[in-house]
Amino acid sequence: MNEDQQQKNKRLAGKLSLSAVAMVVFAIVALPALYNLICNITGLDGRTGRIEKEQALATRPDKTRVIKIEFDANVNGDLPWEFKALTRRIEVHPGEVATVSYYAKNLSNRTIVGQAVPYVTPIKVAKYFNKTECFCFSQQKFGPGEDKEMPLRFIVDPDLPKDVNTITLSYTFFDTKQSGVEEDSAKAENATPQ
């Protein structure tokens, strides 16, 4: 092989290696960001939205429609918590602010920090289901045996597609495997799903 040829080969190899590196960056940085973006826009992963109280109160209820909302609660894996919806089912008008409560109790004798993750079905509803207050906005710290009633305040957007009459909202509590919550609650505010 002559010098020229070798130079050419090395240059091509260099370019190809760069594209490989670019693909690693794409996989680690772009793919997760893209996924989150798409999920946030479309609600494909069943995530619900979050709006300010003022905005919710300013919405005019649509008294002509009644939507049935069902509430479900689960714990993930072997998280030793009791977790349930105190209200199993309510009926609301779109545009009306409603409040329900969930109940959770730490059955173990150690402090556990949990994070609730919502899922709403049918999936296309996600865009129209907004919360002003939720225990899922931040991590929840429960001491040994501690129990709490936790409010959930939400509003269904009046633009909800006409064919939807029933919405099911499900929460799953995950163990965050952390012992304290204070130190990074600020970070959690941003990172946690709504």
Q: Residues interacting with another protein, by CB under 8 A? A: 1, 5, 8-10, 12-13, 16-17, 19-24, 26-28, 31-32, 35, 39, 42, 44-46, 76-77, 114-115, 117, 123-124, 172, 174-177, 191-193
Q: Toward another protein, which CB reaches closer, 31 or 57?
A: 31
Strand partners, 148: 104
Nearest to 170 by CA among 192, 146, 152: 152
Burial track 85-100 (b if 16+ CB lie within 10 A, e otherwise): beeeeeebbbbbbbeb
**Measured between alpha carbons, how far is 48 from 176 in angstroms, rounded to an integer?**
21
Query: Of 59 and 76, which CB lies nearer to another protein in the complex structure?
Result: 76
- State which residue, 132 or 172, has the beta carbon closest to another protein: 172
CB of 19 to another protein, least distance (A): 6
C-beta of 43 vs 95, nearer to another protein: 43
Minimum CB–partner distance for residue 193 and another protein (Å): 6
